[in-house]
Structure 1
Amino acid sequence: MKILYGVQGTGQGHISRARAMALALREWPVEVTWLFSGRPREALFDMELFGDFEYRHGLTFTTCAGKLHYTRTALDNNVSRFLAESRDLELDRYDLIISDYEPVIARAAAKQGRRLIGIGHQYAFGTDTPRAGTSWLQEKIMSSFAPVDVPIGLHWHPYADNVLPPILDLPELPLENGEHMVVYLPFEDQGLVTEVLRQFPLQKFVQYSSALGNSEHGNVSCRKADVTGFKSHLASCSGVICNSGFELISECLQWRKPVLTKPLDGQMEQHSNALALHQLGYATTTSVFDVASLGEWLERPHVTADIQFPDVAEALASWLAAGAQASPASLNQRLWGEQLPARIPPPRPGPDITQKLTAIA
């Protein structure tokens, strides 16, 4: 069986999911061609696992200083090139076509009348999934960016019968509660992040970003993004400070690492993730990252979520190798089981962070 698997490369979380799926699919008699888009090819790193992968420019989102910029996003994307890439993508030789929010494959499949399976966090946003920071434009972008025929969503709670637990890309490492905290705020101004961290000299931080070089700044160790080093620091840290992307926080929940998370301003998905985390009691959310918010979090006892997610990558690989004929609802029932309550817990009492997140447009 030949599979074409498209991955949106703008965020590292999509690639982390793809790593887990690549390892799981190796155990089955399938031939997978990986296609990545949304990030300059030279900015992709640690990609050996995907072999001779395909690359397209696709579409991406432009951010600046912790905020999503729609005008710059529109200007930075070459729509005519995207249309040509999707028109020229030949799908006839593939038995299954999959998109993790990858738009070139999505448009090509629609134009060529091919069944498209979606596997990703964005496909979990049904009517019962928490939403915050939403607008008509953002809802339209989410639904039309990479539409699929068979959506399989990933989330921290079974909000619908097509929603599965997270796909995790976690190596076998000893888990420790070390002295350092991991900081990964890729959409923020890295210099400003470092300055905030340095205001707490008794706490050690390891700050990761593809925009950084390896350097030391008192209590802050800056590190250029790489998978191996990051996962090692994550396994041995005492807490994580990050934006509200889905994949990293899922890994923190699995490894029981306390999280302080700040959603990317203007990005509906991240604001919605922060709201869900607050409602579930899985992380501490903040609308700003500054000395006051970090200081307040550092002074609190860090309570972690008591949850362990199943091996979703293995279940999906088996399902795909069998032709992806069983319903997503059957996967939902198998993987969630009785692990979580049947309904979402009510919002916790405390600061009006839910109101703040919901009010951000």
Structure 2
Amino acid sequence: MARSNIKRLLKDIKNFQAENYNLIISDFEPVSSWACYLKNIPCVALSNQAVIDLDQRVRNGKMNWLGRLILMRYAPGTSKYGFHFDPASENTYPPLIRPTVRAATTTDNGHITVYLPAYEDKKIIKHLSNFPETKFEVFSKHRSSEKGNDHITLLPLNNEKFIASMATSHGIICGAGFETPSEALFMGKKLLVIPMSDQYEQQINASVLEKMGVTVLQKLKTGRADIASWIINGKVVEVDYPDRTQEIVDRIVACHAVR
């Protein structure tokens, strides 16, 4: 299976006609990136992964050499612009926040929104059952319908309901991806992240978030005391994430488009 996937990838790279475009922007996508690289055609890398090359703080984070090598070589680019939880360098920008999230009205209904796709539902329920006085809304890729009680509610993945749950939550527990933690911070919610152990990118994100003041756990099963402390004493990490989408687009087109 892996061999056939590699053959398909190499075929797609070979067949991608990069020379037919005035500007190629890759969001950490290997086909267009490597097609440009092999044909010596400029390619703009625009992604949160690009900050590895742009921000020394990220390079100094918790990450082994293999993970760094994979992320740096997976989708090469001649110019790089990145998104960062705490942008500081010239070519880094705040996270792109979806319009529906920006428009959401935030309140505090007291529940904790949970999204941990790396864990099975039964494991999540087992550990959250240690906190009977707290209400949890757990979104799960394994659910097709809502199920639960006054303490823990399991809900199927639904974008609209997930945003509503986050917006009305007291706090958010999630993996250390980029989108959900960014949106939680933007909404002004206290945040606890549990990075996937085999995901290099999540380990980087967790390291950055921890330095900002976000609570980070390496494993759900060993975090009972930390979760209890976070529920009671966890603080909101204040951020400023203005919408700079048009600015980024204008800059890239002005600097890199072939006319």
TM-score (norm 1): 0.64
Residue 78 of structure 2 is aligned to residue 146 of structure 1: no
The CA distance in 2 between the partners of 1:76 and 1:269, in whole Å, is: 24
The aligned residue for residue 211 of structure 2 is 279
SS in structure 2 opposite 1:160?
coil
Structure 2 unpaired stretches of 5+:
none
The aligned residue for residue 11 of structure 2 is 84
Please report how far the alpha carbon of residue 288 of structure 1 lies from its aligned counterpart in structure 2 after TM superposition.
Answer: 1.6
- Of 131, 148, 159 in structure 2, the residue corresponding to residue 217 of structure 1 is 148
The CA distance in 1 between the partners of 2:130 and 2:147, in whole Å, is: 15
Please report how far the alpha carbon of residue 182 of structure 1 lies from its aligned counterpart in structure 2 after TM superposition.
Answer: 0.9
Q: Deviations over 1:59-87 (max 9, x none)?
A: xxxxxxxxxxxxxxx94871111111111
The aligned residue for residue 112 of structure 1 is 39
Deviates more, 1:257-266 or 1:154-163: 154-163
Q: How many residues align?
A: 250
Please report how far the alpha carbon of residue 325 of structure 1 lies from its aligned counterpart in structure 2 after TM superposition.
Answer: 4.2
SS in structure 1 opposite 2:82?
strand
**Is 2:206–2:216's contact at 8 Å kept on the other side of the alignment?**
yes
Identity %: 25
**Is 1:132–1:268's contact at 8 Å kept on the other side of the alignment?**
no
**Is 1:170–1:251's contact at 8 Å kept on the other side of the alignment?**
no
Please report how far the alpha carbon of residue 169 of structure 1 lies from its aligned counterpart in structure 2 after TM superposition.
Answer: 1.2
TM-score (norm 2): 0.87
Q: Which amino acid aligns with 1:103?
A: P
SS in structure 2 opposite 1:157?
coil
The CA distance in 2 between the partners of 1:248 and 1:162, in whole Å, is: 22
Residue 189 of structure 2 is aligned to residue 261 of structure 1: no
The CA distance in 2 between the partners of 1:230 and 1:247, in whole Å, is: 13
SS in structure 1 opposite 2:236?
coil
The CA distance in 2 between the partners of 1:202 and 1:196, in whole Å, is: 13
Residue 102 of structure 2 is aligned to residue 102 of structure 1: no
Please report how far the alpha carbon of residue 317 of structure 1 lies from its aligned counterpart in structure 2 after TM superposition.
Answer: 2.8
**Is 1:261–1:286's contact at 8 Å kept on the other side of the alignment?**
yes
The CA distance in 2 between the partners of 1:77 and 1:136, in whole Å, is: 27
**Alpha carbons of structure 1 residues 122 and 139: separation in structure 2 relative to 1, 3 Å:** same
- Of 172, 182, 185 in structure 1, the residue corresponding to residue 113 of structure 2 is 182
**Alpha carbons of structure 1 residues 76 and 226: separation in structure 2 relative to 1, 3 Å:** farther
- Determine which structure has the larger helix proportion and give its number: 2
The CA distance in 2 between the partners of 1:235 and 1:87, in whole Å, is: 45
The CA distance in 1 between the partners of 2:17 and 2:141, in whole Å, is: 33
**Alpha carbons of structure 1 residues 114 and 209: separation in structure 2 relative to 1, 3 Å:** farther
Task: Give the CA RMSD over aligned residues.
Answer: 2.2
1:1-361 to structure 2, matched below 5 A, reads 75=2, 78-126=5-53, 128-130=56-58, 131-171=60-100, 172-218=103-149, 219-281=151-213, 283-290=214-221, 291-300=224-233, 302-320=234-252, 322-325=253-256
**Is 2:44–2:77's contact at 8 Å kept on the other side of the alignment?**
yes
Structure 1 unpaired stretches of 5+:
1-73, 327-361
The CA distance in 2 between the partners of 1:76 and 1:238, in whole Å, is: 46
Q: Which amino acid aligns with 1:236?
A: T
**Is 2:62–2:207's contact at 8 Å kept on the other side of the alignment?**
no
SS in structure 2 opposite 1:260?
strand
The CA distance in 1 between the partners of 2:107 and 2:3, in whole Å, is: 42
The CA distance in 2 between the partners of 1:77 and 1:191, in whole Å, is: 35
The CA distance in 2 between the partners of 1:179 and 1:158, in whole Å, is: 31
Q: Deviations over 1:297-354 (max 9, x none)?
A: 2232x3212222111222223334x44449xxxxxxxxxxxxxxxxxxxxxxxxxxxx
The aligned residue for residue 334 of structure 1 is none
